[in-house]
Amino acid sequence: MRTIKNRNNEGRTPMAATEKRKYKITVRFATKEYFSLKEKARRAGVTLSEYLRRVSASSVVRERLRPQHLQHILKLTGMANNLNQISRKANAAGYVSARTEYRNLASEIDDLISRIKDDR
């Protein structure tokens, strides 16, 4: 006598709810962008969907600069100009006369860098 196996017990185990791919995103590409992506996926040996999943998982998108960061950049630019003027003065009049100005500016730059680090 031959036993009949239950076909429903064989096969792949069910996926956890967090592993199921249930979200779909529609993205539009220009022709050149689309074929470039397809070529990259082909060279990587994966499907286009898998390629885009991997790229999105490993990429980092940084936030735009906030207005206060732009103000800090402008201040640093001004300080760089001041430092250049101090170095010219030091070359012309001697390093001892420019030392105080240099120390003050270096302290201001350190303070500004600390503020930028705190703003993250």
- Percentage, residues of the chain above pLDDT 70: 92
Q: Where are the domains of the chain?
A: 24-61, 67-119
User: Which whole number is the average pLDDT over 69-80?
Assistant: 87
- What three-state secondary structure class fits 27? coil
Highest mean pLDDT among 7-21, 63-77, 86-100: 63-77
Q: Give the per-residue pLDDT at 4.
A: 60
Per-residue DSSP letter, 10:
S
In this predicted structure, the answer to whether residue 78 has a pLDDT above a threshold of 70 is: yes
CA distance 86 to 84: 5
The answer to whether 75 touches 116, Cβ cutoff 8 Å, is: no
Q: Give the per-residue pLDDT at 27.
A: 93
What is the chain's mean pLDDT, rounded? Answer: 85
Q: Give the per-residue pLDDT at 7.
A: 61
Please report which confidence band the pLDDT of residue 104 belongs to, taking 50, 70 and 90 as the band edges: confident
In this predicted structure, the answer to whether residue 6 has a pLDDT above a threshold of 70 is: no
CA distance 59 to 81: 36
Neighbours of 86 (CB within 10 A): 19
Number of H helices, E strands in the chain: 4, 0
For 19-62, how does the pLDDT look when each residue is reduced to its tens digit (9 = 90+)?
888 889 999 999 999 999 999 999 999 999 999 999 999 988 88
Query: Cβ contacts of residue 41 below 8 Å, gap of 6+?
Result: 47, 48, 50, 51, 52
CA distance 97 to 19: 68
The answer to whether 86 touches 105, Cβ cutoff 8 Å, is: yes
Nearest to 108 by CA among 68, 84, 80: 80
